[in-house]
């Protein structure tokens, strides 16, 4: 797996997402708490930076002082009441600090209450011996310069509103309830999104599980399977489970219908043979022939039921099979030795072409049954005095067994249907050979239980080749 793929898989993990979300919420809570306490602190709001005044600020301050002293203003109250803008215009403001009385502070224009309170307290608490520029988060204050109004001494200051405002200054202007509500609302939204990201897919899976429990095996989880985290994997696993259950039910229903249909023909022939054998006009020789026919049909019924049960067990994908280490080459040799007795009746020779000793993990009985069914079919449909060849090879951790006969083969359209239960290429031929139509279906299910593959193809000259592939 490439590093980028590993990183993508890591950050797609449900556990990582859960950690990151809670981490973000924790960080947000910490910073929100810090931010609120910081903003509610008077030190922050009252923070001031002192620096040397600019030349144009000093010039404006002195020009304004001269204008006030040359005017005919009788006292400070008259100046404050008339708010004469010939001395200063917005966005500037004038501040007066009395130095003859109790250091009272006055302003020509009123600022917002919090700003007014902060600047007033600052001027009252500070002692100025020279002109400086005092920079607040909200106001820039320059001064003082000494002036006289009606023989009263005052310190004159000029202020203007700070134009550069950051987010913290904007929050400072908000009411206290708003500064508390905003982070609470943000954390609420984050937690809500977190809860929905978890609860919505879980609710969807729960709904699908409820429908599945009611017997609707066609239910599938949609809209979540594209996720790469654990919830997406859970949805995919649920869909796989539902698919397997539906396949099992369909297989059972199909098998039940097929068995019911296939049992009719031998049962009908059995009833006819018994009816003829019971007739008074039937001779002893004919009666004996009818009874032999009954015996044959009973054996076929018994074989069909056994095969149907075996197929049913294999199609039940929820059933686990026991696997052990086994010598696959020796297993094939035993099968060929056993089937050779039947092949001798038609003078057919079964040969094994292999130069490898293959060992794998599998179920001995299932593999024995699957390969035996394929070899038996090859012998049944091969002409007399012919050869059935089994070729065993090993390639890239894959075992391949090819069983080739010299029969007439099958129509190309029937190749994919050969492993379907009760499928027969030629009904009359299968009836003659005693086939039930379940042998290759059983073989397919046994091979699939080992995560293998089985398929058939016609040979170039004549005959049919069945290939079995198994992983080591």
Q: Is 293 helix (H, G, I), strand (E, B) or coil?
A: helix
Interacting residues of 338 by C-beta distance below 8 A, sequence separation 6+:
372
According to DSSP, residue 383 is labeled P
* CB atoms near residue 238 (< 10 Å): 20
Among 30, 31, 35, 36, which Cα is nearest to 177's? Answer: 36
Number of Cβ within 10 Å of residue 33's Cβ equals 11
CA–CA distance, 437 with 446 (Å, rounded to integer): 16
Nearby residues of 400 by Cβ (< 8 Å), 6 or more positions away: 391, 392, 393, 394, 467, 468, 469
Distance CA 215, CA 219 (A): 9
Nearest to 65 by CA among 144, 126, 137: 144
Angle in degrees, CA 243, 249, 254, rounded to 5: 120
Other CB atoms within a 10 A radius of the CB of residue 305 amount to 13
Burial 332-349 (b: 16+ CB within 10 A, else e): beebbeebbeebeeeebe
Please, which residues have CB within 8 angstroms of residue 162's CB and are 6 or more apart in sequence?
135, 136, 137, 138, 139, 140, 169
Instruction: State how far the Cα of 198 lies from the Cα of 234, in Å rounded to an integer.
Output: 13
C-alpha–C-alpha distance, residues 240 and 233, integer Å: 10
Tokens of 388: 């059935």
The catalytic position among 261, 325, 337, 450 is 261
Contact 366, 326 (CB under 8 A): no
Verify whether residue 261 is a known catalytic residue: yes
Three-class DSSP category at 454: strand
CB 403 within 8 A of CB 375: yes
Q: What is the CA radius of gyration of the chain?
A: 49
Please list the residues that pair with 324 across neighbouring strands.
Answer: 362
SS3 of 224, please? coil
Q: Which residues contact 387 (CB under 8 A, 6 or more apart)?
A: 348, 349, 350, 351, 406
> In DSSP terms, which residues pair with 403 in a beta bridge?
390, 466
Looking at the annotation, which residues are catalytic? Answer: 261
């Amino acid at each position: 797996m490439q590093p980028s793929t590993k990183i993508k898989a890591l950050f797609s993990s449900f556990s990582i997402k859960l950690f990151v979300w809670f981490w973000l919420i924790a960080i947000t809570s910490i910073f929100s708490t810090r931010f609120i306490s910081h903003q509610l602190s008077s030190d922050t709001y009252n923070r001031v930076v002192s620096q040397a005044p600019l030349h144009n600020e000093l010039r404006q301050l002195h020009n304004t002082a001269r204008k006030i002293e040359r005017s005919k203003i009788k006292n400070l109250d008259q100046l404050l009441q008339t708010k004469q803008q010939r001395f200063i215009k917005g966005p500037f403001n004038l501040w007066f600090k009395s130095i003859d009385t109790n250091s009272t502070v006055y302003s020509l224009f009123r600022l917002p209450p919090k700003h007014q309170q902060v600047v007033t307290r600052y001027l009252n608490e500070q002692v100025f011996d020279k002109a400086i520029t005092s920079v607040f988060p909200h106001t820039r204050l320059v001064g003082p310069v000494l002036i006289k109004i009606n023989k009263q001494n005052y310190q004159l200051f000029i202020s203007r509103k700070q134009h550069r405002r950051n987010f913290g200054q904007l929050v400072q202007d908000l009411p206290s309830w708003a500064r508390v509500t905003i982070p609470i609302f943000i954390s609420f939204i984050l937690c809500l999104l977190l809860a929905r990201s978890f609860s919505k897919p879980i609710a969807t899976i729960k709904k699908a599980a409820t429908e599945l429990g009611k017997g609707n095996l066609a239910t599938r989880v949609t809209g979540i399977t594209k996720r790469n985290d654990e919830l997406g994997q859970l949805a995919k696993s649920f869909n796989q489970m539902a698919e397997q259950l539906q396949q099992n039910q369909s297989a059972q229903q199909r098998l039940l219908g097929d068995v019911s249909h296939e049992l009719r023909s031998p049962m009908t022939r059995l009833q006819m043979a018994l009816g003829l054998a019971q007739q008074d006009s039937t001779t002893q020789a004919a009666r004996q022939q009818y009874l032999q026919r009954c015996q044959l049909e009973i054996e076929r019924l018994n074989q069909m039921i056994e095969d149907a049960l075996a197929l049913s067990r294999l199609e039940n994908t929820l059933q686990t099979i026991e696997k052990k280490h086994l010598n696959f080459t020796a297993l094939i040799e035993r099968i060929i030795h056993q089937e050779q007795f039947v092949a001798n009746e038609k003078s057919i020779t079964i040969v094994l072409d292999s130069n490898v000793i293959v060992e794998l993990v599998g179920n001995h009985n299932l593999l024995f049954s699957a390969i035996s069914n394929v070899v038996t079919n090859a012998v049944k449909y091969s002409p007399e005095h012919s050869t059935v060849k089994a070729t065993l090879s090993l390639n890239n951790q894959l075992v391949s067994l090819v069983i080739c006969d010299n029969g007439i083969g099958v129509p190309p359209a029937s190749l994919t249907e050969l492993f379907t239960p009760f499928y027969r290429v030629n009904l009359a031929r299968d009836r003659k050979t005693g086939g039930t139509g379940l042998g290759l279906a059983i073989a397919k299910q046994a091979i699939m239980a080992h995560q293998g593959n089985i398929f058939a193809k016609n040979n170039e000259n004549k005959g049919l080749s069945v290939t079995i592939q198994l992983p080591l």
